[in-house]
Structure 1
Amino acid sequence: MGGTVRQSDVDSFSAITAGMASLTPKQRSMLLVLSDYGEPATISVLSDMTGLHANSVRETLSVLVEYGLVRRARVPSASRGRPAWEYESSVPADLSVIMREFSTFARAVCAYLETTSATPVADAEKIGGLWGQRLAKDSSIALDGSEGSHEVREHPLARLRILFSTLGFGAVAGADDQSINLTVCPFSQDGQYPNPLTCAMHKGMISAMLAVLSSDKVDADLAANFPGAPCVISLAGEQMR
């Protein structure tokens, strides 16, 4: 089913992100349907809307509920039958909206470091490293194949691209099988180059996240090129398929 996020664990943005990054296209589509619907919906309603069998809808929703991305509640039945469940999205289907708000916070952190730190770039990377460690812990996507689903083991780079795309970076395959291009920068404002300290935080996040997920077998570097060209994550270490 993807990652290992459970509803009781979803108490942070990184945990929600991890859950969304673990979704299959079918599960993501159902989340979008619920978000667009804008109100609680029963399995019967969702089955009619999607054309899917009720059992398929139920199975998909159970995963979304487990990940904490959808909540459900009992509704009284008009007859003597069993009460039905109603489902509604508990998070935005597009987390890039939240990332845009987070970018405002990132700019505030940069302003603080610029006025208080003797080594702002190094401190920004440390902050990003803490973020990456938290994100890695919540996502539970192991690059070395020791954990996770068959899909994770077979396509680790694909899972990483999904994770970064979920965060709003428009991640696509790079020029080779050791790189990922980030075509969008949620930290940019009006298409302008983001604060270099923000890039340092992002670099620290990526490096720390990959180190944790790969048990220190894979490292990463970030070439910040936006907006003139995509930013490039280059991986180094054990061969990535």
Structure 2
Amino acid sequence: MENNDAGRRGPRPARTPSGRRLSPTRAALLETLQAQPEPTSLPALVKTTGLHDNTVREHLEGLRISGLVRRTKAPSSGRGRPRWLYEATPSSHEDPRPEYAALAAALATVIVRTSPEPAAEARRAGADWGRRLAAEAGPVEGPVEGPVEGHEGARRGVAEIFENMGFAPEADADVRELRLTRCPLLEAAHQEPDVVCSVHLGIAQGALERYDAPTDGLELLPFVEPGACLLRLGRP
């Protein structure tokens, strides 16, 4: 029996196709591509699934034949054959791609090209973004009678922000750790992990700051365990 989670490191994407008879592995690959704002390379897909590249290639070809995926050649970057890039076709989508993904991908590209300190700049930009998202979300819900309870409410607010962005976070009991089980920016994270992950870390930082919660101990561990990245929102 096929187990598409075996050996997987890093998050899965945000959507599950419905009404289609696909194996778990093939469905997971389609989900990944549906969640991306740009065509995705084979190495990025291999990294997130933990499968052999030949296995991923076989399933991608099956999805392409079914009309759910299309492939294009990447622009030539020197010697060797151009890479194939894969993307889900419009007919495969249940919902539009989140606007967040396209905005974050564009932001990461600009920062990489223009900043001498791209990771630091990405975190600052993410923090500005996080403060705006928290302000738009409004006051956090939950107990606010003391600092511990109030800070937990703030962490729950951060979890909700990441839920709305498509990361499908799974929180521990006191919301100090979030397992980010989906990724709407897989190719960008594969190509520029420091920048993309710094944007996400900054979003958490900015939201906590907006909620007047501490940010010490805040860290993001990308592709750290099977099926998820890990976002730590503070020390115990």
**Alignment TM-score, normalising by the size of structure 2:** 0.47
Q: Indicate the structure (1 or 2) with the bigger Cα radius of gyration.
A: 1
- The answer to which structure, 1 or 2, has the higher relative contact order (CA under 8 A, 6+ apart) is 2
